[in-house]
Amino acid sequence: MNIASWIKQRALLEPTAEIVKEGTHAFNNRDFYHRVLSASSFLRSQGVGSGDRVSVMLYNSSLFLELLFGCARIGAIMVPLNYRLVGAELSYMIEHSESAILISDPDFRENLAGLKPGPKRLLFPDREKDGFLHLPPKSKSPDNESPPREAEAGDETPLLIMYTSGTTGRPKGATLSHGNVLWNAIMHLNEGLYRERALVNAPLFHVGGLNAIATAILYGKGSLVVQRSFDPHQTLELIEREKITCMFGAPAMLEMMVRDPLFDKTDFSSVRYLQTGASPAPLALLEKYHNKGIKIRQGYGLTEASPAACLLQDEFAMVKPGSCGKEFFHLEIRIVDNNGTDVRQGDVGELIIRGPNVMLGYWRDPESTRETLRDGWLYTGDLARKDEDGFIFIVDRKKDMLISGGENVYPAEVELALLQHNAIAETAVIGVPDKKWGEVPAAFVVLDKGSVKPTPDDLVQFCRSRIAKYKIPKHFHFVEELPRTPVGKVNKIALKEEWGREE
């Protein structure tokens, strides 16, 4: 069950097949397995044992993956850290996870100088001239010492502590097991994720980059081309040069690729599909890829589910716009009311999930765990509805719902309507105080490059045939960009702090 066995088996069965490429460094299965063995030996030399936590703050790299499987091999637990966070946020995660060591890119030395309290040891990998990272020489163990034996791991052996973005308070550490990650990979394999050549440019510290693409691809005998961090121009170059077959990217990433001058010149013939998630993809964006013959798969997932929950296969992208599809195989999904009773088809309720990929719980947070995991079900906090064909539509976060004149308004539903306008690239809707109605929707709109700017009245008219009158935004703000959280989601808290007052 130990996921480190995946790398061992690949080295045994197909030793010379390529598995990871980063820049000019390409590793076959045998080479990468030896690097994982070295990583596990290095961790042991630093005093890391079974159950110890290892915080890792790195750009996307082969080393990140080597450390993941190295930790798995000795039974340690990796804690991926978001390098966009500030010192106080990082300190909380390191302290809360009680990490034994922190391994960080040398680029982050200044950010980490004031960490309090810090881990027992702070380590910086060495950097070669071309930027490739590798672990420093081992200490506290002789050079000829054999690598540690692979630790026993079962379904519920912890592997990862992945901290949520904390948009509703202190970050919570979703604890994912070896079994969770295995079943997530199996479910992706069941959707055809086999022997892909995938581009990894979504951050590996995020469950989308790590498990929706990287570990799932490695389990499915595919290979990874690792991009240090997302850059739309470089992404397009890599897709053509490396004959990429798939990648995962948030809609904002796909939009930046479309806006790059290289998009129209790029050869996408190797691409089977691009997978997106985190938020609904605008219809105008889907059409741009559809017109170029590029298939888009949309999904819905969350850290607590490792992240597999729903997937909309590419043949339904233009048929069911706004849907996240149907549940993955091996999963059960229900939509329930506040009493936990299933709602009628078409009605809105909270989406709950049961399956082998659901987290063990929140690290050192029994109260939040009891609130989220109830009777074997993961209560997602996301409001959803299911149509007559069984396709699921995420309506909104339960906590984001606003009440206008006694009527429930779900911002995500309003956003979905606005995103069908050809001039709109991105939008976010929040509730703002109103003397008459209590709250009303306010929309923030980012226009598509080169489009004619609609007036607020134009958008009101556009919405009237798509959503009820009380759901139509009463205020429109045209902005250059939307504020985002460190993991790239729209930061509605920031919008509310700046604009969430009576207008």
Q: Is 253 left (phi over 0), alpha (psi -120 to 50) or beta?
A: alpha
- Domain 401-499 in the same topology as domain 1-8+22-153: no
C-alpha 261, offset from chain centre: 27
Query: Cα(175)–Cα(29) distance, rounded to whole angstroms?
Result: 28
Q: Helix (H, G, I), strand (E, B), or coil: what is residue 259?
A: helix
DSSP symbols for 154-188: -TT-EEEEEE---TTSS--EEEEEHHHHHHHHHHH
**401-499 adopts what CATH topology?**
GMP Synthetase; Chain A, domain 3 (3.30.300)
Query: Cα(431)–Cα(407) distance, rounded to whole angstroms?
Result: 13
Backbone angles phi, psi at 54, to 5 degrees: -125, 110
Per-residue tens of pLDDT for the chain, all 503 residues: 899 999 999 999 999 999 999 999 999 999 999 999 999 999 999 999 999 999 999 999 999 999 999 999 999 999 999 888 777 778 889 999 999 999 999 999 887 876 766 677 889 999 988 889 999 876 544 555 789 999 999 999 999 999 986 544 578 999 999 999 999 999 999 999 999 999 999 999 999 999 999 999 999 999 999 999 999 999 999 999 999 999 999 888 898 899 999 999 999 999 999 999 877 788 888 999 999 999 999 999 999 999 999 999 999 998 998 899 999 999 999 999 999 999 999 999 999 999 999 999 999 999 999 999 999 999 999 989 999 999 999 887 777 888 887 777 888 889 988 999 999 999 999 999 888 787 899 999 999 988 999 999 999 999 988 888 889 999 999 999 999 876 677 888 889 888 766 55
DSSP symbols for 237-251: HHHHHTT--EEE--H
What tokens appear for 118 in the block?
A: 């810090």
Contacts of 485 (CB under 8 A, 6+ apart): 165, 167, 491
What tokens appear for 89 in the block?
A: 């946020």
Query: Cα(212)–Cα(371) distance, rounded to whole angstroms?
Result: 26
pLDDT of residue 167: 45
Amino acid at 352: I
What tokens appear for 123 in the block?
A: 């380590």
Query: Cα(444)–Cα(428) distance, rounded to whole angstroms?
Result: 5
Q: How many CB atoms lie within 10 A of CB 414?
A: 24
Instruction: Write down the H helix ranges in 75-116.
Output: 87-97, 109-112
Q: How many CB atoms lie within 10 A of CB 442?
A: 24
Closest CA to 270 of 298, 303, 301, 293: 293
Question: Domain-by-domain residue ranges, the chain?
Answer: 1-8+22-153, 401-499
Query: Cα(50)–Cα(178) distance, rounded to whole angstroms?
Result: 14
CATH 3.40.50.300, domain 1-8+22-153, yes or no = no
Contacts of 291 (CB under 8 A, 6+ apart): none
What tokens appear for 262 in the block?
A: 């290289």
Amino acid at 327: E
pTM of the model: 0.85
